[in-house]
A and B are shown apart, each in its own frame.
Chain A
Amino acid sequence: MPPAALPNQPGQPQDEEAAAAGRRRSELTMLAFAVGVVAFAYINVGLSMKGQSPGTFVAYIILFAVISGAAHLAVRRWAPYADPLFVPLAMLLNGLGLVFIYRLNQAGVKGNPGNYNLAGKTIPIPTLAADSTTMQFVFTVIGIGLFVAFLVFIKEPRVLQRYTYLFGLIGVVLFGLPAVLPDSLSEVPGTTAKVQIAIPGLGSVQPEEFAKIFLAVSFAGYLVMKRDVLSLAGKRVLGVDLPRGRDMGPILVMWVISMLVLVFESDIGTSAVFMGLFVGMIYIATGRNSWLLIGFGMFVVGAVIAGALISHIAARFSTWLHPFSVANLVDGAQPSYQLVQGLYGMASGGVLGRGLGNGQPFWTPLVQNDLVFTGFGEELGLTGVMALLLIYGLIVQRGLRTALMIKDPFSKLLAGGLSFMLALQVFVIVGGVTRLIPLAGIPTPWLSQGGSNLIASWVMIGILVRLSDMARRPAPKPIQDEGLTQVVSLK
């Protein structure tokens, strides 16, 4: 048998380029598939809600295809070796989110008749603001814009390590800002959560979405510096390697911040993601089980104490355990009404779903935000829900795989941390709305209405694509003409 051509072999540059081009080709094919699914979903909504297919959404499909193409060209030009799955998967999620906002925005035949006439009573059904779909497209364009800008300007992710403390400071400020602002600016209407900054006349920003990215970069830089002392120093107690007391500083600080978020912003979801991100990253950096135990224990103790002291946190546990009780569902403020309506929606979808535009997701309050996953469950069924979870799972898996391939510790930690953070976010919100864990409202990445999360998610994909490009980039080509030194691959 003749020896197979070896890729990445010095002196065979055409093979490397061919391999990169091949990856981009498969990316383009998958991207075309994602655009096709989204286009089909648009047509589906149009047919079932209006009884006709074309309409304004033809423009949406074209615009979506153009945005997807731009993202692909940027990767082709500036990160040619990147994993081909990131952009198509994220684009598919983003597209389905756009379709669902469009779907909720329509009043049509069955799916949202505007008013529901039930036994002689007219029950008004909320629709989203008229410009919701357009705004979501604007946010998508901004997100893709930042994604491209990141690839253009950050060629070498290690430069971010220089700003470890600056990014940490920015992250903490962004995190804490809503807590110190007056309620009128920071409280999300209709809830007790103080997580946004309202800009009068323009809308609102949820700074924590960006804070998480800054903090992930900052944690990576800090932990790379301190990793030796955090992983080795300490003594063994009862079979567990405990770190030294003086090394507990950082985790204590993070714990205090997450508790402050919990108490002052009433946002147990973000608080959990934040703490989980730090604990996950310190574990990846040190490989030390004791950090997991300490971090997890601290968060649980903190949450339990906060639950005992703060009534609305206790109420979350009560609505989780007894959502159908009279006290939670019928009386007073009906704290479990939203969760229960989401569950009814998923149940109504069953295995195959009602079909886009045929369900009644409008019964669920704020279905376009935290509970968007139940809307998908209702209209796409268990089948669609499993597909969405697989897409998220694949993005996380590709991110973790990138982390495994990278040699540079800072980049490795950053890739691992961001991937784990995405997994945590999906777990917290999807687990929350399906009553696996107590419901803590955070956006569902790419799917929920709103710009902050969408833009931050695209920045995260930008970082992962850049890291993946670095990890898969072949070793530098030898300079054959000089003939003196030769780089030898030791594979």
Chain B
Amino acid sequence: MSVTPKPAGGVGMDMTAMGLAILLMLAIIGVAWYMFGLSLIFYALIAIIIGGALIGFGVHFVPVGGAPAAMGQAPGIATGVAMLAGGAGLAGLFGGAWAADLGIVVACAGGAIGGALMMAITCMFVNVIYVYGMGIPSASGKAKVDPLTGDTQTEYKSQGTEGHGLPFISFVGGIVGGFLGGLGGTLIYYVLLKWVYVEKLAHALGAGPLANVTPIAISLAGIFAIGLFLVNAVLAAYNITGTIEGPHDPKFARWPRAVVATAVASAVCGIVAIAIVAV
């Protein structure tokens, strides 16, 4: 069969593992505090952790149906979780990076809207193809009634399938996921660039005027932001195990586990990204 059930993970949290993970994160924060004090570099690490957690949380909103969705056997977007979240988040990062000189709030808001915009267009085209190309209406497999519109879903599922297309709740979930992904990605990029690299790289390279190091700093911050984005999106995808319909899917309740895991992973990656120039 094509729809081989993926190993199903529960909603619960392994408290010992979580405790150890949080301890690791606190240790890294402690090391950063000891080394840099309450400086911008320390706050950059905290912002990277928050950005990573936002990405991990946001991925859970994105409706992804994988291979079954490509056959109209399950609702969602017919691609992988990490890939789609990556596409949206990076499109957001593109917009956010462009607005980086306008301050952290405008940059992050620009990145968030960029991610939401990418998902809004993509999700609409999923429904365009399903409705006008294949003659199939949207139907959720996990909810009997769309929580936002109140539309009944069960009778719109074709025989032998789990549902298809993107019901409105999944569409909105996609936009929220893109928004949070773009926000988190841009936050990581901004703090790495403005709070760490520009100043520290000039010092480390002895390059003199800031203009000389800015292109290197932008490249480095961009690479680390994309890398951190992919780390967090893949971690969240593992937590989801395969497919998810959006915020109404029972799997959505697993998000606290992913938020802890992505925060810890971001702390580990973040301290490396900072230490590469600041130590």
Note whether A and B form a binding pair.
no
